[in-house]
Chains A and B, each alone.
Chain A
Amino acid sequence: MELICPAGTPASLEAAVEAGADAVYCGFRDETNARNFPGLNFSRDELRKGIAFAHRHGVKVLVAINTFARAGAFGLWQAAIDDAAAAGADALILADLATLDYAARRHPGQRLHVSVQAGAANPDAIRFYVENFGVRRIVLPRVLSVMEIASIVRESACETEVFVFGGLCVMEEGRCSLSSYATGQSPNMNGVCSPASHVAYAERDGRVVSTLGGFTINSFGKDEPAGYPTLCKGRFTTPKGSGYIFEEPVSLDAALMLPALRDAGVTAFKIEGRQRGRAYIAGVVRSFRNILAAIDEGRSAPPAGLAAMTEGQMSTVGAYRKGWR
């Protein structure tokens, strides 16, 4: 069981390595990766140094180039693939058919993973990626139950990786334009969801109101835990009432599901959060490292105690438990 950890900066990469990651994933500082947030990500030089540091500690580096290439600008994505491969990336995490096709042809020896953004949610889709591009691993979308994951693993000729902690997409990843509907910027095209540049907080009648692109996403009482105004975790009104009609501002915490996911045959567990600081990275990675060690030794897993790290201070096991749907 591999523990795959996020790094938005070189400092976070080092924190993840020191906290016990088996692999760290990161991306370039541009629109080629799906966490294209202000102040984050790696220059070419930082990636080379980060890979050298990780390799010295026996840790792998996976480079996410997982947005969909802009028409007429494919060169930017090709350069990202070439540079990541040349820097010694242990795997490239790709989503777009164009990037997968290019990487498979140009860098036949390079290990390729299918990003969660590709939304490969069943064995047929996975077979398509394996047969066409020789991919070695699929990061499964967060729409599947543990039983479904087990059945996918049984039928698939490549490894699987699942998210176990952090931000939770409630929509199928890679096929959501909610963000661009409100702001003009989307995960697929710009590598951002509900971008900070379009976020505003204002005080109104003693409550804090968060807006995105001018749309009110939520309103918090004085001591209520807050959430970032991610569209799908906002409070809205329908004829059936007001509330969190898509999802509460929660984070995924599947720590308790790790044994079941391991038994399902999952190869790697992924922590979300390249946009988070190194305090989060170090804390969450160490915590999951301890849980995995306990599971390996047949001990009962220590509680993660990560509630404070989660959005709205709440966690869910998401689609891993079927009732979530």
Chain B
Amino acid sequence: MSDPQMTELPVTPPALPPWLARAMAPLPLAPLQPALALMLDRIGRTHPDLYGRLGEHAEKCFGIDPTDLPFAFVLEPKPLRPRARAVRNLPAGLDACIRGPLAGLVGMAEGTLDGDALFFSRVLWVEGDVAAVLALRNAIDDARIDFGTVIFGSLGPLGQRLADALRRQLQSLPVTSSGGRTWS
């Protein structure tokens, strides 16, 4: 018989402090939209290889749901007309959806956290087209996007507060790899 051993406690799901979500809940989403567009445009121009990796999955519609934020994102990476928008609730008809605390999502996107490890420990969850999510994850992992700068740089002072909170979350995570523990 086998002798599998539980060698460590599961990763504790990191979450933003509830005060932050409460503080952001009443904020209008409209100001976020141009920032997201700008971010997407910047990523597309600096990381053209991303589309080669995404392949057919670039045409799909992804929901990205940071469970500790009062809003979510819809991402359509389409090479000709990429779109990202913030929404209060994810719409129906998405091809795939990734849910998890913002720290986990950003950490995975930046390559500081291992997506599979987050998934195995139930920090992240995936619904719908799993192949599309894998393609997106792998393409972003290879692109080495500095999300700290890209996202929070375009969000102004609120972005800075978010970034600080996230940085603390990431540092408390056991699933970090060396080389990328800090980000900005």
Which residues of A are at the interface with B, using a C-beta cutoff of 8 A?
8-12, 15, 18-19, 37-40, 43, 195-197, 199-201, 208, 220, 223-228, 247-250, 253, 275-283, 286, 305, 307-317, 321, 323-324
Contact: A39 with B111, CB < 8 Å? no
Main secondary structure of the interface of A (DSSP, over half): mixed
Q: How far does the alpha carbon of A283 sit from the alpha carbon of B112 in the complex, in Å? A: 10
Indicate which residue in A39, A226, A310, A311 contacts B53 across the interface (CB closer than 8 Å): A39
- For B125, the chain A residues whose CB sits under 8 A away are 201, 208
Chain B residues bordering chain A, tally (CB within 8 A): 53
6 contacts between A and B (CB under 8 A): A9-B138, A39-B57, A227-B120, A228-B119, A250-B4, A279-B114
Q: State whether the Cβ of B162 lies closer than 8 Å to any Cβ in chain A.
A: no
Contact: B120 with A312, CB < 8 Å? yes
Q: How far does the alpha carbon of A274 sit from the alpha carbon of B8 in the complex, in Å? A: 24
Indicate which residue in A19, A253, A277, A313 contacts B137 across the interface (CB closer than 8 Å): A277
Contact: B8 with A226, CB < 8 Å? no
Contact: A15 with B179, CB < 8 Å? yes
Contact: B4 with A314, CB < 8 Å? yes
Please report the number of residue pairs spanning A and B whose Cβ atoms sit closer than 8 angstroms: 172
Distance (whole angstroms) from the CB of B80 to the closest CB of chain A: 20
- For A277, the chain B residues whose CB sits under 8 A away are 108, 111, 114-116, 137-138, 141
* Nearest opposing residue in chain B for A11, CB measure: B142
Contact: B177 with A323, CB < 8 Å? no
Contact: A225 with B2, CB < 8 Å? no
- For B135, the chain A residues whose CB sits under 8 A away are 38-39
Distance (whole angstroms) from the CB of A278 to the closest CB of chain B: 5
Q: State whether the Cβ of B87 lies closer than 8 Å to any Cβ in chain A.
A: no
Chain B 1-15, CB within 8 Å of chain A: the 1/0 string? 111111110110000
Contact: B2 with A316, CB < 8 Å? yes
Answer whether A283 and B111 are a contact pair too, CB < 8 Å, given A199-B130, A321-B3: no
Contact: B112 with A314, CB < 8 Å? no
Answer whether A314 and B141 are a contact pair too, CB < 8 Å, given A11-B111, A39-B53, A195-B131: no
Contact: A316 with B4, CB < 8 Å? yes
Indicate which residue in A12, A39, A247, A317 contacts B55 across the interface (CB closer than 8 Å): A39
Q: State whether the Cβ of B17 lies closer than 8 Å to any Cβ in chain A.
A: no
Distance (whole angstroms) from the CB of A121 to the closest CB of chain B: 19
Contact: A323 with B1, CB < 8 Å? yes
Q: State whether the Cβ of B61 lies closer than 8 Å to any Cβ in chain A.
A: no
Contact: B143 with A196, CB < 8 Å? no
Q: State whether the Cβ of B155 lies closer than 8 Å to any Cβ in chain A.
A: no
Find residues 133-165 in chain B having any chain A CB closer than 8 Å to their own CB.
133-139, 141-144
Indicate which residue in B6, B126, B138, B143 contacts A201 across the interface (CB closer than 8 Å): B126
Q: How far does the alpha carbon of A196 sit from the alpha carbon of B112 in the complex, in Å? A: 23
Q: How far does the alpha carbon of A197 sit from the alpha carbon of B128 in the complex, in Å? A: 10
Answer whether A283 and B114 are a contact pair too, CB < 8 Å, given A39-B57, A314-B4: yes
- For B130, the chain A residues whose CB sits under 8 A away are 196-197, 199-201
Contact: A308 with B5, CB < 8 Å? no
- For A15, the chain B residues whose CB sits under 8 A away are 111, 179
- In the complex, besides A276-B116, A312-B120, 20 extra interface pairs with C-beta distance below 8 angstroms are A8-B138, A9-B53, A19-B179, A37-B138, A38-B57, A39-B139, A197-B131, A199-B131, A201-B127, A201-B130, A208-B125, A279-B117, A279-B175, A309-B116, A313-B8, A314-B7, A316-B2, A316-B4, A316-B5, A324-B2
